[in-house]
Structure 1
Amino acid sequence: PIPGGVVRGYYTTDPSFWDPLRGTAAAHTEWNRVAAPLLQLNYGPGYDPRNFDISKDSIAQSWEVSQDGLTYTFHLRQGVKWDERPPMNGRELVAQDVKWTYERHMATAGAPRREQLNTAIKSIECPDKYTVVIVLKQRMADFLILLAGSYCEILPREVAEQYVDFSNPKAMMGFGAFTLEEFTPGVRMVFKRNPNYYKAPLPYLDGLHLILIPDASTSLAAFRSEKIDIRTVKRIDLASLKQTNPKVYCYEAELSMSAIAVSFRTDKAPFSDANLRRAVSMAINRQEVIDTFYFGYGTEQTGPIYVEAPWHLKDLGECAKYEKYNPEEARRLVAAAGYPAGLSVSFAVNSSGGEDYLNYCEYLVDALSKVGIKASMKMMESGAYTSTVRSKREYDDMTFLTLFSVASWGPDVLLNQIYGTGYGSNISLVSDPKLDPMLKAQSEELDPAKRQELLNEIQRYLECQTYYVYWPIGLNVTCLQPWLRQYSPHVAATALSGRITEYMWLTEDSPGRK
C-alpha cells in the first residue's frame, strides 16, 4: 500500500443527532470512524466478510472469563491516545473511560443497547488503570459480541461535560483511525488521518472528504464523472455504468446483514392466529421478489437468524413449507383461521421509506389480495411511523420494516430481543410462554455445541409459529474507481465505515493525491 491521498465520498443526509446514545442511526457511522467499541470483529484483508470472531487488535487486547461465566476481566491496550484537541489533549485511554461509557449507556433512556447492558451487567470495577472487571447478573453467551457492537463506542467523558452530552459535532473526539476536522451543515464532512492511531501505519489515507448529495441520480452522475471514488450502485444502473466507466471495479455479491419483515399484532385478532400469519408467508413468491426487485441477485432469508450467520440452521424441518409459495394452501389457511370469505386488515406503511420499500409494500398488497387478505395501506410520515410503530409498537394489524441491520448480530439480538416478551425490538409483540424459557436457556449456555443445539430447536419452533415473515435480501453492489484499492467489505459494516476505510489506499494517479 502507498500511504497518502484523500478518498472522496458522499452522504445523503446530515446526522439528525450527534450523541450516539440517542438512537441507532444518525452519527454512528461517523463515530465509528473516530472511535471504536471495546472489542471489534475481524475486518480487513485476509478475513471472510462473514467473520464474526473477536479481533485481537481491539482496545481490549486480552480478556479472561471466570469458570462460572459471570466475571469478565479485560486488559486494555496501553498507549492508546485520545484526540489531541482540548479537552482531551491526547491523554491515554484508560479503564475508567470504559466504565463511564457503559454506565452512561445503561442510565440513558433510549440508548441503543441499554436494555441488554442492564439485563446483563451487575457491576463494573477498575482495579487498575488498564483493567476492567465486569460482573454479570447471569451468564450471557453473547456478551463479547454485545460489547463489539457498533452502538457501544467508547466515549470521552470530558467532551460530554463540555458539549452537553455530545450535542455538538465538535464533541466528536475519539482515538480511532480518523478525526473529524470539519462539518458544514448541508455541505460536507472532512476527516483527517489520526497521526497517533494505535494501529500505525494504519490508516493509509490522509483523510476522507465527504460531500452531501441527497439525490441518488446526482450522486451516480458524480461517480460517473469521477468526482467521488466509491458508491453503492443499484443493479438496474450497473450495466450502463460499466459501459460509460469500463475501468471501475464492482463488488457485485455483497450480502448485507440487514433484513426487513412483515410484523403482526400477534397479541390480538386476526393475527393472533398462526394460520393467518402462515397464509401471509405462503402468499409471497420469494423467487419472484428476487427476480423482480433484485434482478435475480438475492437470497431468501429463511428462519429467524440471519442467513449467513454461523448460527443459522439450514434444515428448518417440516414447517419450512410455510416459506414456500403456495397461494392455494394460503387461501385454505385463511379459511381455516375463520375467514372463508376473506378479510380486510390495516397495513401500516412508512411513507418516507423510499421508492424500493414502497414498491415492496405494493407487491405485498397485491400478493395478499390473491389469497383473500385485503390489506389497506395506512401511510404514515416518517416521524410518526418511528415514534408510533417502531418505538411504541402501536399499529392496527400488520406493518413492514427493518427488523435487524448491520449493527445487530448474535442470537441474543436476532432472537431474544425480537421475539422475547417485553423487549422493545419485539415489533410483533410476541409473548410465548413456551419460547421465553428456550430463549433464556440459549443465552446462558456457554458451550458452543450445546448452545447450537438449543438454537436449532428454537429456529425450528419459530419456523412453525411465523411471528414474522422475512423478505428476501438483495445482493448489494459497491463500485470503486480504478485507483481505490484494498476495499474489504464486511456484512456488519457500511462501505465507508472506520474499520474498512483504514485499510484503503490510493494509487499514485488518483485525483485524491492532487
Structure 2
Amino acid sequence: MKMLAIAAATLLALSGAAQAQPKPATAPAAAEKPQYGGALSVANVYYTISPLTFDSADMAWKFNQDTGLVYEQLFVADLSKARRNGGKYPFVSDSFLPPDSLKGELAEKWELKQNPWRLEVQLRKGIQWPAKPGIMAARELVADDVVYSFDRVNKSPKKIPTYWDHVSRIEVTGKHSFTMHFSSYNAEWDYRWGWGYYSAIVPKEVMEAGAKDWKNVSGTGPYALTNYVQGNQMTFTKNPAYWDSETIGGAPYKLPFADTITYRYIKDESTALTALRTGKIDIMEAVRWSAVDELKKSAPKLQWNKIISNNGSYITLRMDQKPFDDVRVRRALNMAINKPEIIKAYYGGNAEMLGFPMHSSWGGYYEPLAEMPESVRELYTFNPTKAKQLLAEAGYPNGFSFKTQTSSASLDNDLLALIAAYLAKVGVKMEIQVMEYSAYLSAMTTKTNAAGYFLQAGLNNPTTSLRKTFVTKQTWNPSQHSDPEFDKKMAEVYAEPDERVRQIKVKLMTREILDKAPHIFLPVPHVYTAWWPWVKNYGGELRAGADRPGPIHARVWIDQEMKKKMGF
C-alpha cells in the first residue's frame, strides 16, 4: 500500500507535465462554395468486414459505422472544431470525444445535475422519421423514441454486462424532453448513451417490422439505405427532408451534399488499393504503411493523413487455463519475441512499441514506456535466455504447444508466422487457426476461444479500454482476466467525477495490468488515410462518435469539375 501511495503521489506531481499537448491548430483553408450532387465512394476503416447486423439490439461494434448515415444519436462531434477548421481535434479516435468537442445532434440542449445524479435532455422539435411504405408513416421524433431505443438495447440478451447499471430509469417529461435518472455517477455517461456504439435512436415500427432486414432500415439521418450487396457495397441516397445544415465560409448550407454515398467492402487489400488508385474509391480511411510509398508515386495527387492506429495489437492468453494461469509463462512469451525487430523489419519502422491499453493521444491518461516500472519495460525487451529460464521455473523446460485463433479479415496474419518462429526458439509451438470473421467473433463472445486469440481491437477510450479488456466476464476479455480487486478499482474510476484523479488511477491500473502480461503485447502500427483532392470539406477525420463516420461523410462535397479534369 505504501508503494502504491508513493506511485500515486509521483503521478499526481507529474500529471500536468506528462500530458501530451495538442498539436498547434492548422489554419483553416479559404472556404470554397460547396457543390451539391455527385457520388462519394468510401472504403471505411474496416473495409474488409461487411455489416454484421442491422439490428441495434444485436449490439454489434460495427453498427455505427454501417448505419451512422441513417440513424442519429443524442450527441455528435462538433466538426467545426476539427484541425482543418483551425480547431484542436483530429477526430480520428474510435470512441474518445472530449466534452468540449461535443454538440447536440438530436438533443437540442442538456444538463447533467446532481443530488440526485440525472441527465435532463430537450430534443429538437420538428425532426421527422421518413415514411417507409408498408412499415411506417412519416411522423415526428419524440421522447418516447429515445426511451424505446434505450429499453431495447438495455434488455437485449447481448447487452454488455454492467454497461448501463448506473441508469435507474428514464422518465419522459414532455413530448420532446426526458430525464435519465442515475443510481450513481458514471464517468462515461455521455458515451454509453449519447454518442456511443449502442446509442442509435431507432423507430419502433422499423424494429418490429424486422430489424435484421436491411430493406427496413429507416432513420432521421441525412441518408437512406437504398441498396446492399453482401460482401460488396452499401449505397445510401440523400434524404431531402434532412433537418441539419453546415456553415461554410460564414453561410449555412443544407445537408447533405452528395446525392449518393457508397461504402465499399473489399476483402483483398490489393484490389482495394487499385480501386483507390484508379479513382473508383474517393476516400480510403485505412491504408497500411507498406502501400503508401507506391501510392505516392503512382497517384501523387492523393491527400494524406497519418495516425498511430487506434487498434491495440496483441495475442490474448487464457489465464483460466494452463499454462497461461502462470504469470511466469505469460511474461516468458513476451520476452521471447523480438519486438524492436518487428518494428524495424515487419513494419519498416512505422510502429510504436507501446500503444495499448492507453493511446498516446489520450493526454493525461497515457504514460510512455520509458516512464514505466522496470518490470513492465522488461516485457518489451528481447530476452530469450530469461524466457527459457522462466518457462523452466514454471515447469515447462521443454516448452509446450497452444493454438492461436485469428480472423481471415485481418491483414496482419503473416505477423503471426513471425511470432510463431520467435516462440519456437524457446520451445513453444504456436498453431495458427484462421477463421471466418463471424466464427472468430463468436468464439470470443461465447468464451469458447482458444488459449491464444489474436486481436487488433479498438482501444475506444481510456476507461473503456481497461474495462472491456480486463474486467471479469466482459465480452472483449478473451484472456478471461478476472481479479476482484481490479474490478473494484475500475468501479472506483467510473464513480470519480474529477478527471485528473481518474487519470492517475488509470495510469496505476495500466501499470498493474501490463505487469501481469495477460497478453503478448505487440507494437502498434502507423496507419494512413488517403483521399483525392476533389473530396472537399474533409481533412482525414474518421469518427464523429463511436466508430461513426456518417456525420463526416454527410458534410463532404465533391468538386465534380475537378474530378473530370483529372480524368476520373
Match of 2:418 in 1: 363
Match of 1:160 in 2: 207
- State whether residues 483 and 510 of structure 1, in contact with CA within 8 Å, keep that contact through their aligned partners in structure 2: yes
Give the whole-Å Cα distance in 1 for the aligned partners of 2:437 and 2:554. 34
Q: RMSD over aligned Cα, in angstroms?
A: 2.8
- State whether residues 316 and 463 of structure 1, in contact with CA within 8 Å, keep that contact through their aligned partners in structure 2: no
Q: Answer yes or no: is 1:242 the counterpart of 2:288.
A: no
Give the whole-Å Cα distance in 1 for the aligned partners of 2:231 and 2:425. 45
Match of 1:430 in 2: 481
After TM superposition, give the deviation of residue 62 of structure 1 in Å.
Answer: 2.7
Give the whole-Å Cα distance in 2 for the aligned partners of 1:293 and 1:387. 29
SS of alignment partner, residue 427 of structure 1: coil
After TM superposition, give the deviation of residue 405 of structure 1 in Å.
Answer: 1.8
Q: What whole-Å deviation, never above 9, does each CA across 1:207-226 have from its counterpart, x for those lacking one?
A: 21445554433332233222
Q: Which moved more, 1:422-431 or 1:20-29?
A: 20-29
Q: What whole-Å deviation, never above 9, does each CA across 1:148-186 have from its counterpart, x for those lacking one?
A: 21332111111112x22x122122211122222333556
Match of 1:346 in 2: 402
Over 3 Å counting, the alpha-carbon distance change for 1:208 and 1:452 in structure 2 is same
Give the whole-Å Cα distance in 2 for the aligned partners of 1:331 and 1:349. 24
Match of 1:63 in 2: 110
Over 3 Å counting, the alpha-carbon distance change for 1:281 and 1:141 in structure 2 is same
- State whether residues 59 and 153 of structure 2, in contact with CA within 8 Å, keep that contact through their aligned partners in structure 1: no
Over 3 Å counting, the alpha-carbon distance change for 1:249 and 1:168 in structure 2 is same
Give the whole-Å Cα distance in 1 for the aligned partners of 2:78 and 2:407. 37
Out of 72, 75, 83, the position equivalent to 1:39 is 75
Q: What whole-Å deviation, never above 9, does each CA across 1:89-111 have from its counterpart, x for those lacking one?
A: 44222211111001000111224
Match of 1:142 in 2: 188
Out of 75, 87, 92, the position equivalent to 2:140 is 92
Q: What whole-Å deviation, never above 9, does each CA across 1:194-247 have from its counterpart, x for those lacking one?
A: 333332123332321445554433332233222332224333332222222222
Give the whole-Å Cα distance in 1 for the aligned partners of 2:524 and 2:316. 16
Q: Answer yes or no: is 1:128 the counterpart of 2:174.
A: yes
After TM superposition, give the deviation of residue 359 of structure 1 in Å.
Answer: 0.9
After TM superposition, give the deviation of residue 512 of structure 1 in Å.
Answer: 8.1
Match of 2:428 in 1: 373
- State whether residues 368 and 375 of structure 1, in contact with CA within 8 Å, keep that contact through their aligned partners in structure 2: yes
Match of 2:445 in 1: 391
Match of 2:35 in 1: 3
Amino acid in the other structure paired with 1:308: S
- State whether residues 264 and 467 of structure 1, in contact with CA within 8 Å, keep that contact through their aligned partners in structure 2: yes
Give the whole-Å Cα distance in 2 for the aligned partners of 1:399 and 1:497. 28
Match of 2:13 in 1: none
SS of alignment partner, residue 479 of structure 1: strand
Q: Answer yes or no: is 1:476 the counterpart of 2:527.
A: yes
- State whether residues 36 and 150 of structure 1, in contact with CA within 8 Å, keep that contact through their aligned partners in structure 2: no
1:1-400 superposed matches below 5 A: 1-4=33-36, 5-9=38-42, 12=48, 14-25=50-61, 27-43=63-79, 44=82, 45=85, 46-49=87-90, 52-54=97-99, 55-68=102-115, 70-86=117-133, 87-111=135-159, 114-147=160-193, 148-161=195-208, 163-164=209-210, 166-185=211-230, 188-200=233-245, 201-210=254-263, 213-231=266-284, 232-251=286-305, 253-310=306-363, 311-314=365-368, 315-327=371-383, 328-339=385-396, 341-350=397-406, 352-354=408-410, 356-388=411-443, 390-400=444-454
SS of alignment partner, residue 139 of structure 2: coil
Q: Which moved more, 1:440-449 or 1:356-365?
A: 356-365
After TM superposition, give the deviation of residue 40 of structure 1 in Å.
Answer: 2.4
Q: Which moved more, 1:418-427 or 1:16-25?
A: 16-25
Identity %: 26
1:450-461 superposed matches below 5 A: 450-461=501-512
Amino acid in the other structure paired with 2:177: T
| TM-score, normalised with respect to structure 1 | 0.88
Over 3 Å counting, the alpha-carbon distance change for 1:410 and 1:302 in structure 2 is closer
Amino acid in the other structure paired with 2:524: I
Amino acid in the other structure paired with 1:144: D
Over 3 Å counting, the alpha-carbon distance change for 1:491 and 1:296 in structure 2 is farther
Give the whole-Å Cα distance in 1 for the aligned partners of 2:473 and 2:50. 33
Amino acid in the other structure paired with 1:220: L
Amino acid in the other structure paired with 2:482: S
Give the whole-Å Cα distance in 1 for the aligned partners of 2:528 and 2:207. 38
* Structure 2: stretches of 5+ with no match in the other structure: 1-32, 246-253
Q: What whole-Å deviation, never above 9, does each CA across 1:323-362 have from its counterpart, x for those lacking one?
A: 32232332332233233x23113122236244x3321211
Match of 2:538 in 1: 487
- State whether residues 6 and 512 of structure 1, in contact with CA within 8 Å, keep that contact through their aligned partners in structure 2: no
Match of 1:501 in 2: 553
Give the whole-Å Cα distance in 1 for the aligned partners of 2:235 and 2:564. 13
- State whether residues 270 and 397 of structure 1, in contact with CA within 8 Å, keep that contact through their aligned partners in structure 2: no
Give the whole-Å Cα distance in 1 for the aligned partners of 2:225 and 2:551. 15
After TM superposition, give the deviation of residue 441 of structure 1 in Å.
Answer: 0.8
After TM superposition, give the deviation of residue 262 of structure 1 in Å.
Answer: 1.5
Give the whole-Å Cα distance in 1 for the aligned partners of 2:54 and 2:322. 41
Q: What whole-Å deviation, never above 9, does each CA across 1:251-310 have from its counterpart, x for those lacking one?
A: 2x1233222321112123211111221122222333322233332222233452333224
* Structure 1: stretches of 5+ with no match in the other structure: none
Match of 2:500 in 1: 449
| TM-score, normalised with respect to structure 2 | 0.81
Over 3 Å counting, the alpha-carbon distance change for 1:283 and 1:353 in structure 2 is farther
- State whether residues 34 and 174 of structure 1, in contact with CA within 8 Å, keep that contact through their aligned partners in structure 2: yes
Give the whole-Å Cα distance in 2 for the aligned partners of 1:437 and 1:125. 30
Amino acid in the other structure paired with 1:336: E
